[in-house]
Amino acid sequence: MRKETLEIGAEYGEEYTGRYVFQEITWAKRSRIIQKHTKYHPVSGQVVSSDFIAIQAETIWAALKEQPQNQPLTLEKLLGEENGIPIALGELLSQTVNNLCAVTREETAFLSEPSDAKNPTPQSQISAYAKNSVGSQQTSQGSQPEPSSSSSSSSTK
């Protein structure tokens, strides 16, 4: 597994100064993080919502292998809105981990946009037939042929 080391100075605050080591995470780990923070429609399976911040924070946290002794990074701080990490530091950590874990621009765009924005899967024609079949059942019932009684009457003798 690949590793990347960041030496951070005081530009993000004294508490973040030090050496950070990140290690590439596995495909399975990344997939589980994405699944955990993504809600899918129960019938269609389409993405209803995705918490990109949580996905990114957990990915950073999973890849983080070493940090300064005062341990300035925690999952809570990565997720924090009021007492979180500085924006520029978060962007640097995200960029480092995304490059290390091979998260593509397309994946990042997918995670940060609503599912309807760029749905590469065309809508199934089956759903169109299913919608039409409800209305056509009533009109087609009267035109269905009656069961034939000739075959059953010959077998009763």
> Please, which residues bridge with residue 143 across strands?
none
**Which pair of tokens denotes residue 101?**
């874990």
58, 103 contact by CB (below 8 A): no
pLDDT at 114: 58
Q: Kindly report, residue by residue over 116-144, the tens digit of the pLDDT.
A: 555 555 555 554 545 444 544 444 444 45
**Portion of the chain with pLDDT greater than 70, in percent:** 65
Residue with tokens 């599912």: 115
Could you report the per-residue pLDDT of 75-106, keeping only the tens digit for each? 999 999 999 999 999 999 999 999 998 766 66
Whole-angstrom distance, CA of residue 101 vs CA of residue 2: 9
Length of the chain: 157
| Residue 25 pLDDT grade (very low, low, confident, very high; cuts 50, 70, 90) | very high
Query: With contact defined as beta carbons under 8 Å apart, do 22 and 2 qualify?
Result: no
